[in-house]
Amino acid sequence: MDKLLQVKLDDLIKQSKVVLFMKGNPEEPMCGFSSTAVAILVESWVYFETFDILLDEEVRQWLKEYKNWPTFPQLYIEGELIWGVDIMQEMYDEGEFEQYKQV
């Protein structure tokens, strides 16, 4: 991966404390998993930014390889990959999003 792409991806991941890379956007998720991920964050009152991976194939491919996680959505909190919807659901069930709740 070239240096410019690395900088772009680092900037995307760190654009906010919580970043969701998804198919579509919060208003129009393009798959059920993305829809579920958005619902979990909204119901948890978490402020988050999103990136529609369907609009940028280069970002989409790189993210699959970055942490060896080939599926979307991918959630990053404070620059760290939290993996996918299954982990998000567990975090939601256990109240772990409470610390990221917007006041």
Helix (H) or strand (E) holding 28: strand 28-29
Q: For residue range 36-74, what is the model confidence (pLDDT) as tens digits? A: 999 999 999 999 999 999 999 999 998 888 888 899 999
pLDDT in the model for residue 103: 58
Residue 29 has pLDDT above 70, yes or no: yes
Quote the number of domains for the chain. Answer: 1
pLDDT in the model for residue 1: 63
CATH at residue 45:
3.40.30.10
Domain that holds residue 96: 3-100
Count Cα atoms within 13 angstroms, Cβ side, for 48: 29
